[in-house]
Structure 1
Amino acid sequence: MGLGIRLLLLLLLVGAAAAAAGSKEEKGSSGGGLRFRRGSGTFKVVQVADMHYANGGRTGCRDVLPSQVAGCSDLNTTAFLYRLFRAEDPDLVVFTGDNIFGEDATDSAKSMDAAIAPAIDMNLRWAAVLGNHDQEGTLSREGVMRHLVGMKNTLSRFNPEGVEIDHYGNYNLEVGGVEGTMLANKSALNLYFLDSGDYSTVPSIRGYDWIKPSQQFWFQQTSSNLQTKYKEEQPKQKEPAPGLVYFHIPLPEFSSLKAPHFKGVKQDPISSPSINSGFFATMVTAGDVKAAFVGHDHLNDFCGKLDGIQLCYAGGFGYHAYGKAGWSRRARVVSVQLEKTDSGEWGGVKSIRTWKRLDDPHFTTIDSQVLWSRGSNVGGY
């Protein structure tokens, strides 16, 4: 039996298993929103960067070993998604751009549907931002984002209502405390999503686009409002709830991280915009951001701390994306843990951990690290 047929059979089996099986632990929910789990006090996010999905089984793989070429296609990316979701059972999946490779996609909408399909099939909640390749096919950048927000199970949003803001797909999600506890009606974890654009439209500035002042103003206002609610509304909290930020193109500050002051590998140049729009300083000033997560540079998968914020790459996920033969495709997992209060119930966030899953024969977990811990200065790299 050929590799392609075996892979198709595997996808069918995995999909059937996903539909039949329940989650390992009941996931928190609040009117369709996000919430920490009651039993474990955790909230888990799986980041999928740079799938570069095109036309499914008709799209070949890039940068794989000679022994892997025959029968390798976008379906390998799909199989990896199923395998990952079954192993990690996430509360949220975040697709951080270049979800499709528009230039090679015959129909951008169908490609996006196929790319996201495993998350929908497994009834997972998910969110997405755009990269620099999503709009290069049959849909404009606005069209791609409007398609995403119309898909099943998505928590993606087009843009905040009533706000004049650059790009498409700037929004935030709140993660409520455990149901039935004092923090049940508060957001114990705040997730921010920004569209980092594609390419500069300023003739004198070459290269990639950047996060604009309007986006930064929206982020500042949103962060400030969330912090005020968390600290001043009953039950009052002494410190702001932690924030995590997701976007596609790395900031220039990623270049400041040098070995050995990070965990993971740096094999690609940092492909940031040629100008610094100041978003890193905006995050530092906001005071709640503990980590920022990007894609774009597929051969980088490191996390390093700069001015109190962890800057993290996910590593390339998709088989139609450029990679490195023999270097496994991968995904980044983030697990946020609540602390127990003196009364024995779940309180605010205690720690944030991360690791990566490799699509190798052993489905290896690597580079586990604590990104942040309350009252501690851990996470230097």
Structure 2
Amino acid sequence: MSSVSFLGLIIVGIFILIPNIISTSCNIESDEKKLRFNKNGEFKILQISDMHYANGKDTPCSDVLPSQLQTCSDLNTTDYLRRFIQTENPDLVVFTGDNVHSTDAYNYNRSMDEVFAPAIESNIPWTAILGNHDVNVLQTGIPRQAVMEYIVGMKNTLSLLNPSNLEEDELIWGWGNYNLEVAGIKGSPFENKSVLNLYLLDTGDYTYSFTPTFYLGYEWIQPSQQSWFLRTSKQLQETYMSAPQPQPQQGPAPGLVFFHIPIPEFNNISKSDMVGVKQENVICPGVNSGFFDTMLAAGDIKAAFVGHGHTNDYCGKLCDIQLCYDAGFGYHGYGIAGWPRRARVINVKLDKTQDGNWGPVNSIVTWKRLHDDRLTIIDPEVLWTSAGRDQSKSVFKPIMSE
């Protein structure tokens, strides 16, 4: 959520220029970029949202207990991120926006380097999109495109500036719209098929208009993004369900969507249907762009994951799509004193075929880890299974034994 006044959008200010972002060229080589399920038939994603990193040890924490104030800073955020990565050992880390608190960063380049450092050091593939706080052109003079270009040039990242499969003369709104394919286990019949598809979308920051009606608020997922998303989903489904392959698949590979600002449909989840808590209103665009209906029309989306609301961490199903908050991770962003920061884990498991080989995706489960001494696991739940049945006991036995 924003602490930046919307008034800045309609006032012509004087830019406070800092050195230009310089793109690096040390990202993963093409032949190393292929994501695939591990030898245990699993693909684990660690979702990190709303770190709001600024200046390391000089950055004060927000909404912590009085006993924590003197020793708490951005360094707490990065230390916990290292612990999360070491504990979960994910196959992919996904940063879903508000990574850097741009209005507070002394040196934007340095803040970008430091906020992603734990992921880079782990040598685990990672990817990122932007939130509404990652860019403030009026104060920094750095446009959204340049910030995303910097991320794309960082080491070990799979982030893209925008899709590589745009058609001739096709334009797409925003920066950081792309998809990632996750192949089956090497040596299995599905090693050359994407059995899990990830879609990442830019939800922008703020906008205003005076005609035809006055609007001042958050941006939304635009028609050009939705058109690309639908076409890409259709292409992936056709590839997955067509020959040559071991056996024709009757349905699409499951898809997961990641973006920063929630869509209005997050309001439609009743508390009785939630796993997790809702402690603040759903702060979303004032315009419903129809993206939820677009996800339904695609036919492959099983869950959508967002950030933005730091004290909401619930999942709830709406029309067979799970809508999930991640909650705030960083200590510089707002929270609730005594309510631990947290992060979401998404674990996707493959099915075992009758001949003992690995098949398509069988289940998608999730849990959260709290920022406490034990990194306590809470709220394990099954988001989706291929058979549509509850497999909670068998799915969660390994993690609940901790």
TM-score normalised by the chain length of structure 2: 0.85
Q: Name the count of aligned residue pairs.
A: 351
- Residue pair 1:158, 1:170 contacting (<8 A) in 2 also: yes
Distance 1:280 1:377, change over 3 A: farther
- Residue pair 2:92, 2:125 contacting (<8 A) in 1 also: yes
1:207 to 195, 211, 217: 217
- 1:33 to partner: Cα distance: 1.1
- Residue pair 1:216, 1:282 contacting (<8 A) in 2 also: yes
- Cα RMSD, aligned residues only: 1.5
User: What is the identity, as a one-letter code, of the residue corresponding to 2:178?
Assistant: Y
CA distance in 2, matches of 1:202, 1:378: 47
- Work out whether 1:369 is the aligned partner of 2:381: yes
Question: Which residue of structure 2 aligns with residue 157 of structure 1?
Answer: 160
- 1:31 to partner: Cα distance: 3.6
Question: Which residue of structure 2 aligns with residue 223 of structure 1?
Answer: 233
- Residue pair 1:92, 1:126 contacting (<8 A) in 2 also: yes
State the SS of the aligned residue for 1:206. strand
CA distance in 2, matches of 1:201, 1:224: 33
CA distance in 1, matches of 2:108, 2:193: 38
Question: Which residue of structure 2 aligns with residue 111 of structure 1?
Answer: 111
Map of 1:12-91 to 2, 5 A cutoff?
A: 31-38=32-39, 40-91=40-91
User: What is the identity, as a one-letter code, of the residue corresponding to 2:226?
Assistant: Q
Map of 1:1-381 to 2, 5 A cutoff?
A: 31-38=32-39, 40-136=40-136, 138=140, 139-161=142-164, 162=166, 163-203=170-210, 204-235=214-245, 236-376=248-388, 378=390
- Residue pair 2:344, 2:369 contacting (<8 A) in 1 also: yes
Which deviations, in whole Å up to 9, do the C-alpha atoms of 1:113-167 show, x marking residues without a partner? Answer: 1000000011111000100000125332111101100100000000124441000
State the SS of the aligned residue for 1:190. strand
Instruction: Flag structure 1 segments of 5+ consecutive residues without an equivalent.
Output: 1-28
User: What is the identity, as a one-letter code, of the residue corresponding to 1:37?
Assistant: N
- Residue pair 2:221, 2:291 contacting (<8 A) in 1 also: yes
Which deviations, in whole Å up to 9, do the C-alpha atoms of 1:175-201 show, x marking residues without a partner? Answer: 000001110000000000000110124
State the SS of the aligned residue for 1:144. helix
- 1:232 to partner: Cα distance: 1.1
- Residue pair 2:279, 2:311 contacting (<8 A) in 1 also: yes
- Residue pair 2:208, 2:217 contacting (<8 A) in 1 also: no
**Which segment is superposed worse, 108-117 or 154-163?**
154-163
Question: Which residue of structure 2 aligns with residue 19 of structure 1?
Answer: none
Instruction: Flag structure 2 segments of 5+ consecutive residues without an equivalent.
Output: 1-29, 392-402
CA distance in 2, matches of 1:93, 1:63: 26
